[in-house]
Amino acid sequence: MCGIVGYVGEKNATPIIIDGLQRLEYRGYDSAGVAVFQEGEIRLRRDVGKLNNLRTRLAADPITGGIGIGHTRWATHGVPAEHNAHPHISMDGEFVVVHNGIVENYLELRDELQAEGVEFKSETDTEVIVQLVARFAANGAQGDLTEATRKAVSYLRGAHAIVVMSKRQPDRLVAVRIGNAGGVALGLGDGENFIASDIPAILEQTRKMIFLETRQMATVWADHVDVQTLDGKTLHPEIHDVAWDPVSAAKGEYKHFMQKEIFEQARSITDTIRGRVDFEHETVILGDLDLTPQQAQDIQRIVTVACGTSYYSGLVGKFYIENLARVNVEVDYGSEYRYRNPILNDKTAVLAITQSGETVDTLAAMEEARDKGAQLWSIVNAIGSQAMRIADGYITMNAGPEIGVASTKAFTSSIVDQYLLALYLGQQRGTLPEALRRQHVHDLARLPDLVGRVLDRSAEVEALAHKLYQYTDFLYLGRGINYPIALEGALKLKEISYIHAEGYPAGEMKHGPIALIDEHMPVLAIALKDSVYDKMISQIEQAKARGGIVIAIATEGDTFIGTKADHVLYIPQAPEMLTPILAVIPLQLLAYSVAVARGADVDQPRNLAKSVTVE
Ligand code: F6R
């Protein structure tokens, strides 16, 4: 969960940047660095571990200047090490960059730059950005930082938040946001300006902020800022007055935590993937599970135990693990497991999925499994929670704190964790051909950007919510890998808007729920261009024949579906295994917008608790 801070003004940038990074410490990081322009040069200090290490280094070897950028890094590409920490400097020493996100095509770009004679000093994807800026500054942009950055970012695939500083124009910083790899806030001061990935980093300095939208960039001087689209159109963005109290500050530009958490998902998913994938060798590393090939081969069965949203996540994970690792998976409710005298032995791994790590029913299922001699694994978000402590091995979600009671980003992160687990097991067990593993790793790198593209269409979901919010019953249908997403979509709607909603595997509709369908019941069908598309079309036709109002979640480019459904919400084309993570987002947004339209208390819905510690 990397953090970015930038400063330009009269004061010494270094302590302002370090203080800002300190305020983002809660997000987690493994190294930190700062670059300041001093006496005609870009001076760089970086260190691994906590900010205190960097502070000690700065005390021994200070850097001072009125402009600088800093970063706390959590490794994606390349191990945590000083040479991989940001900021990264170009080979000619003229440009320096900090970056959040994943450059999906960094290997291609690195090869291309190396062929031009560029020498790389790190294993990071980020370094290609600064080398590209240097290339275009020397060639085409006449040294102009804004233009060189604009050209450089047009070569990047993926979602990014970037800040660049130049030795040639040391009076300005350039910030770019593409997709949802995290925010870019511009803090406006008096004769000084700030840049941050997260509001708390600069809230002590100013409350006046501009938030960059996707595909926007800003050139920031001490006394003014110039915001443009990536295509060069000048914008006049709204200046927000961010409230001081910690709760409003934490919500930032969003009305509710749930909304913030939905929109954070490109970033939270990046954080889930971070450190678990070696993108260069296209392998998966799960250090806190750490199974030898023999241990992985010895596992004959996995039993997933979880409750609520985490249970639905387990249903998606079953597809992954059975497909990629060829291990039989059963998914059970944590609340039921101990009442069944389950059959377990040491060849069975019981996988508990729990955001809070404290759900009493899931913990009881884990205890039952332990008593019966099974291996115990957990997928948890809350670090240090009981489910993490009692497990033999665990995978953290790294989604960051989830405050909204309705789970959103933890759901998608726990699905990604299971995708990683399936790849890891397939790799260790030898069931996954190398070419396929490489393809899946490649797909994972694309995921944050795809998520960002779904989020970019949120206005369409909001408009639809205004047409639907007065209905009192909904049916959600999905098939194959997306049938659990129908269940999750229905759960989201019922828990925050108090509308009755049922989720079903689509093929089950004719075995009962079809009796409910009439013009008063919207039917939400996940009908993507995948292996069950034709089946979903026939379910839609059956629902239409009974007068139902059909809303389809469909694949971009599918115009045919518009002739069948009343409303269509599109997600980008993607490999089938990634589609549950994408398809759930419009459903989260729909539940959110419907609840807001009904005036419900979105973050604290009635009768629900974030952590269910009673039976
Ligand atoms: C729904 C929701 C709940 C939780 C369930 C399990 O939005 O949040 O259904 O998923 O209570 O919680 P954890 O994952 O903390 O065990």
What secondary structure does DSSP assign to 233-274, as a single string?
A: -B--PPPEE--SSHHHHHHTT-SSHHHHHHHTHHHHHHHHHT
Which pLDDT band holds residue 246 (cuts at 50, 70, 90)? low
Q: Is the dihedral of CA 132, 136, 137, 138 positive or negative?
A: positive
Nearest CA among 114, 5, 112, 94 for reference residue 54: 5
- Nearest CA to 572 out of 560, 562, 581, 563 is that of 581
Determine the pLDDT at residue 334.
94
Considering the chain, what is the average pLDDT of its residues?
93
How sure is the predictor about 74, in pLDDT bands with cuts at 50, 70 and 90?
confident
Q: What pLDDT does 614 receive?
A: 64
Q: Which residues pair with 70 in a beta bridge?
A: 5, 34
CA distance linking residue 388 with residue 607, whole number of Å: 27
How much is the average pLDDT of 9-32? 90
pLDDT, mean of residues 176-183: 83
309 lines ligand 1 (CB under 6 A): yes
Helix, strand, or coil (residue 136): helix
pLDDT at 142: 83
* Identified catalytic residue from 2, 251, 307, 564: 2
Asked if 527 contacts 506 with a C-beta cutoff of 8 angstroms, the reply is no
- HSE on the CB side for 250, CA within 13 Å? 14
Is the pLDDT reported for residue 569 higher than 90?
Answer: yes
Q: Return d(Cα 579, Cα 193) in angstroms, integer.
A: 41
- Residue where the block lists tokens 């804004």: 146
Q: Is the pLDDT of residue 415 over 70?
A: yes
Q: What's the chain's Rg over C-alpha atoms? A: 25
* Distance, CA of 285 to CA of 422 (rounded, Å): 12
Query: Looking at the predicted structure, is the pLDDT value of residue 133 above 80?
Result: yes
In one letter, which amino acid is 54? L
Q: Do 272-450 and 457-597 show the same overall fold?
A: yes
pLDDT surpasses 90 at 146: yes
For the chain, how many residues are written?
615
pLDDT of 296 reads 95
Domain 272-450, CATH:
3.40.50.10490
Mean pLDDT, range 535-545, rounded to an integer: 93
Q: Residue 76: what pLDDT?
A: 81
Structure tokens belonging to residue 589: 């947004």
Say if residue 1's pLDDT is above 60. Answer: no
Q: Is the dihedral of CA 314, 318, 319, 321 positive or negative?
A: positive
pLDDT confidence tier of residue 245, bands split at 50, 70 and 90: low
Residue 533: what pLDDT? 95
Once rounded to an integer, what is the mean pLDDT over residues 99-107? 90
**Fold exhibited by the domain 3-253:** Glutamine Phosphoribosylpyrophosphate, subunit 1, domain 1 (3.60.20)
Contacts of residue 69, defined as CB under 8 A and 6 or more positions apart, other chains included, come to 4, 5, 6, 7, 17, 34, 35, 87, 96, 97, 98, 163, 164, 165, 173, 195
Residue type for position 86:
H
User: What is the distance in A from the centroid of ligand 1 to the CA of 355?
Assistant: 7
Is the C-alpha dihedral spanning 338, 367, 356, 291 positive or negative? negative
When mean pLDDT is compared across 181-190, 463-472, 561-570, the lowest value belongs to: 181-190
pLDDT band at 252 (very low <50, low <70, confident <90, very high): confident
Among residues of the chain, what percentage have pLDDT more than 90?
Answer: 80
Ligand 1 and 308: CB distance under 6 A: yes
Domain ranges of the chain: 3-253, 272-450, 457-597
2 is catalytic: yes
- Out of 65-79, 387-401, 484-498, give the one with best mean pLDDT: 484-498
362 lines ligand 1 (CB under 6 A): yes
**Which residues have C-beta within 8 Å of that of residue 56, sequence separation ≥ 6?**
none
What tokens does 164 get? 């660049």
Strands 328-333 and 301-306: parallel
| Angle between the N-to-C axes of helices 579-597 and 483-497, in degrees from 0 to 180, rounded to the nearest 10 | 20
pLDDT score of 280: 85
- Predicted confidence at residue 244, as pLDDT, reads 63
- Predicted confidence at residue 105, as pLDDT, reads 92
Residue minimizing CA distance to atom 11 of ligand 1: 308
Atom of ligand 1 nearest to the CA of 356: 15
* pLDDT at residue 507 greater than cutoff 70: yes
**For residue 301, pLDDT beyond 70:** yes
Say if CB 103 and CB 97 are below 8 A apart: no
CB burial of 82-111 (b: ≥16 within 10 Å; e: otherwise) equals ebbbbbbbbbeebbbbbbbbbbbbbeebbe
Q: 127-138 and 106-115 helices cross at what angle (nearest 10)?
A: 40
Q: H or E element: which one contains 298?
A: helix 293-298
Q: In what order do the strands lie in the sheet with 173-178?
A: 88-89, 95-101, 160-166, 173-178, 216-220, 225-229
- Tokens representing 258 are 């749930």
For ligand 1, what atom is nearest to the CA of residue 611? 15
589 lines ligand 1 (CB under 6 A): no
Could you tell me what percent of the chain has a pLDDT over 70? 98
Query: Per-residue pLDDT averaged across 139-152, rounded?
Result: 91
Ramachandran quadrant class, 547 (left: phi over 0; alpha: psi -120 to 50; beta: rest)? left
Taking residues 290-319, report their average pLDDT. Answer: 96
Nearest atom in ligand 1 to the alpha carbon of residue 492 is 7
Q: What was the pLDDT predicted at 613?
A: 61
Main-chain phi, psi angles of 179, to 5 degrees: 70, -155
Q: Which residues pair with 278 in a beta bridge?
A: 283
Please report the atom of ligand 1 found closest to the CA of residue 308: 9
Nearest residue by C-alpha to atom 10 in ligand 1: 309
Say if residues 356 and 382 touch (Cβ distance below 8 Å).
yes
Cα(411) to ligand 1 centroid in Å equals 9
- Which residue in the block uniquely carries the two structure tokens 């020397």? 138
Provide the pLDDT confidence category of residue 55 given band limits of 50, 70 and 90.
very high
Q: Which atom of ligand 1 is nearest to the CA of 609?
A: 11
SS3 for 390? coil
**404 close to 345: Cβ distance less than 8 angstroms:** no
Looking at domain 457-597, its CATH superfamily turns out to be Glucose-6-phosphate isomerase like protein; domain 1 (3.40.50.10490)
d(CA 96, CA 518): 61
Mutation choice for ligand 1 from 612, 613, 614, 615, CB with most ligand atoms inside 8 A: 612
Q: Is the dihedral of CA 477, 482, 487, 490 positive or negative?
A: negative
Decide: helix, strand or coil at residue 550. strand
Global pTM reads 0.80
451 lines ligand 1 (CB under 6 A): no
**Phi, psi of 232, rounded to the nearest 5 degrees:** 95, 10
Q: How far apart are CA 88 and CA 34, in angstroms?
A: 10
- Going from the Cα of 24 to the center of ligand 1, the distance in angstroms, rounded, reads 26
Cis amide bond preceding 87, omega within 30? yes
Which of 208, 467, 544, 610 does the annotation list as catalytic? 610
Tell how far the Cα of 353 is from the centroid of ligand 1, in angstroms.
9
Alpha-carbon gap, residue 401 to 382, rounded angstroms:
8
